[in-house]
Structure 1
Amino acid sequence: MIIAPAVSRMLRFFPPVVTGTIILVIGVSLMRIGINWIFGNPVGPTAPMIVDPAHADWLKAATEGATAAGLPEVPAKIAAAPSVPNPAYAPLGNIAVSAAVLVSILIIAKFARGFIANISVLMGIIIGAVIAVATGAMTFAKVGEAAWFGLITPFHFGMPTFDPVMILTMTLVMIVVMIESTGMFLALGDMTGRRVSQPMLSAGLRTDGLGTLIGGIFNTFPYTSFSQNVGLVGVTGIRSRFVCVAGGRDPDCARPCAQDGRTG
């Protein structure tokens, strides 16, 4: 929040070719997250390769045999390497549901009109959820077990510590985040036909900083602007800052948006 005005003065160093490249890189880097959600995470129970059960049994027997025979123990960190395909990776059901969601969004955005076209992404998610529930891939058992209300306590994991190395690391990370947010603010300004001025950019960056501060107090990750939301502006055509207000977010996050109440 303190250095936001200084960063906003660098606005002239962000021509369209720079901001466009930033948005492109962000979008490409986020593609792997969606791919992992469809096929499976690269590590864990859905990894593409798993340890051969025979190799795991051999290593266990060798460890127990060495202990029984009085031989040097097998180092604890030795583990069998994944070597066989994981049948839980890239299940056809997940791919089918993901394809249905994508196709639904594209069809609704292309052929629907008015309000339905504006909520094409939401409609696609709902269609995918219905399919997942019908096929048994999604249940609400955990929702039924959860409490109706929950109290979030500040500093649940302990009071903050002030380590110089950690502070420097997070400062560098937040500078990168500020550059990323600058690119998204400028791209959003181009989409809505409203020029992003230096005070507007400074206000947006300060809002990112304030969100990160509040997030740290309430035990969550740093907050930043999301390029997915910028893409949604282009898909839905909705440009009103009151969308942010309705979502329970600070209206300052939409400062680069178009005039109040204006919709596409």
Structure 2
Amino acid sequence: MTEPVPHPVDQRLPAGRLLLLGLQHMAIMYAGSVAVPLIVGSALKLDAATVALLVNADLFVAGLATLVQAIGIGRLLGIRLPVVAGATFTVVNPMILIASQYGLTAVYGAMLVSGVFGLVIAKPFAKLIRFFPPLVSGTLLLVIGISLLGPGAAMIAGHDTEAPDYGSPSHIGLAFGVVALVVLCTRVLRGFSNQLGPLIALAIGLLVAIPLGLTHFGGVAQASWFGLGSPFHFGAPTFPIAAVLSMCVVMLVTFTESTADLIAVGEITGRPATDSDLARGLATDGLSAILGGCMNSFPDTAFAQNVGLVQMTGVRSRWVVAVTGGLLVVMGLVPKVGAFIAAIPEPVVGGVAVVMFAMVAAVGVQNLKKVEFSGNHNTFVVAVALGVGLLPAFGLDRFGNSVFFQHFPAWLQTICGSPITVAAVLAFVLNLVFNHLGRRAEPDLLSAP
């Protein structure tokens, strides 16, 4: 008897392909992941050595979380889909506020509690999956993709709009050249080479950046061969109530973001996530917060740009991202490797990233194609969630940080500062109001006649 052909998600590719495809996933997510420790370290005025420690811990924990998501641990953890985990930006403002008021020991104490909270509520939260139909998940993915284009633009043009070199033609030209390479590789190459298109574009972009003087490999020589901070580097954790509550809110926000991405990966790979699958995936986010609290790192979420990469390349094997997880662990343990990847100029990574972010938005549009828009208010639901949800993404300061809700209480900024959270809450609630509570069929006021 012939053995049954495994599902594409479970296929084990040849070692060489696994390594290259895993490296491609890592290159796509690296800049976004390390941005969190760099922003937090800068805001708290930590010295360079401490920031480097945060970066190493961030990569190490992200690698472990990615491995768990891809491989799974029994019936408790890991969605067993090609999901790459990375530090969530949702945690940045709360961490800075907590550290400024209570110190870093409170940050990591609160993170530990939020991780336990995440493990406890993962399964009940996952039960809400039936309230995430294509109307909700599609709208949320569309918002995720569009809102991430802001950070993508910052990677290309610069993070400070008032800096003299902001929008430098060389940076923008390099990024657009990388986009053109991605398009060319996708159109011309076939088979495995086609799947490596983004990585090929990154490599060529890096080579072009060298004579332009945009690469700085001095950090590679200065970086040590081994470096991972000891657990609780900043001291024994403390647990102020306000800090704990704030971090638990962050966990709920992270779950909302991850839910949309996990559902999207399930649909892209042809293995739709059940509520049990979703519970294991969300529980891994909780585990990452516990690991982060111990190892001086950050809570992780499913990275949207890697969801876009799965859609673009069609590579559905979870073992590819398991390799990515292993590479991230190595980078966390061997700073020299991380320093080399960090030498890739942001405009090069940004050129690929904006395509990946837009792919996430495109997946959202595909989901919305499954929605019935006649004889109901679904167009109205999408319009309100999209319009109001994206407001924080456009109300930015000169550094690209959302300041739309800056005069509101800190806890409300935590919730509403993320376009993803605002859109998720609106799409979720409006879907209930118009399609579940006293439902009745009426012409959509915004539909074409």
* TM-score clears 0.5: yes
- Paired residue secondary structure (2:229): coil
The answer for the alignment partner of 2:299 in structure 1 is: 222
2:261 corresponds in structure 1 to 184
8 Å Cα contact 1:39/1:89 also seen in 2: yes
1:2 partner SS: helix
Which segment drifts farther, 184-193 or 240-249? 240-249
Deviation track 1:55-92 (CA, whole Å, cap 9, x = no partner) reads: xxxxxxxxxxxxxxxxxxxxxxxxxxxxxxx4321111
Match of 2:217 in 1: 140
Q: Does 1:48 align with 2:164?
A: no
Displacement of 1:216 after TM fit? 2.5
Q: Secondary structure at the match of 1:224?
A: strand
- Deviations along 1:8-57, one digit per CA (max 9) or x if unpaired, are 1111100011111111111111111111111111xxxxx333xxxxxxxx
Q: Name the counterpart of 2:182.
A: 105
State the SS of the aligned residue for 2:120.
Answer: coil
Conserved? CA contact 1:132–1:138, under 8 Å: yes
Cα distance in 1 for partners of 2:150, 2:287 equals: 29
Per-residue deviation, 1:130:
0.9
Determine the C-alpha separation between the residues in 1 that align with 2:256 and 2:161: 35
- Structure with the larger helix share: 2
Per the alignment, residue 79 of structure 1 pairs with: none
Q: What is the letter of the counterpart of residue 321 of structure 2?
A: C
After the TM superposition, which segments of 4 or more aligned residues of structure 1 sit over 3 Å from their partners?
none
- The CA deviation at 1:159 is 2.5
**Same amino acid, percent of matched pairs:** 41
Matched residues in 1 for 2:218 and 2:316: separation? 37
1:38 alignment counterpart: 156
Indicate the residue corresponding to 2:281 in structure 1: 204
> Normalized against structure 2, the TM-score is what?
0.45
Distance in structure 2 (CA, Å) of the matches to 1:208 and 1:110: 36
Which runs of 5 or more residues in structure 2 are unaligned?
1-118, 327-449
Partner of 1:65: none
**Contact 1:4/1:206 (8 A) holds in 2:** yes
CA drift of 1:110 comes to: 2.0
- In the TM superposition, residue 195 of structure 1 has moved relative to its aligned partner by 2.2
> What does residue 271 of structure 2 align with?
194
Give the secondary-structure state (helix, strand or coil) at the position aligned to 2:302.
coil
Aligned length: 208
**SS of 1:9 mapped into structure 2:** helix
The 1:191–1:219 alpha-carbon spacing in structure 2 relative to 1, beyond 3 Å, is same
1:88 and 2:165 aligned: yes
| Aligned AA (2:296) | N
Q: Is the 8 A contact 1:212 1:224 kept in 2?
A: no
Does the residue aligned with 1:220 lie in a helix, a strand or coil? coil
> Structure 1: which 5+ runs fail to align?
42-46, 50-85, 250-264
Cα-Cα RMSD:
1.4
Q: Which residue of 2 aligns with 1:26?
A: 144
Q: Which amino acid aligns with 2:139?
A: T
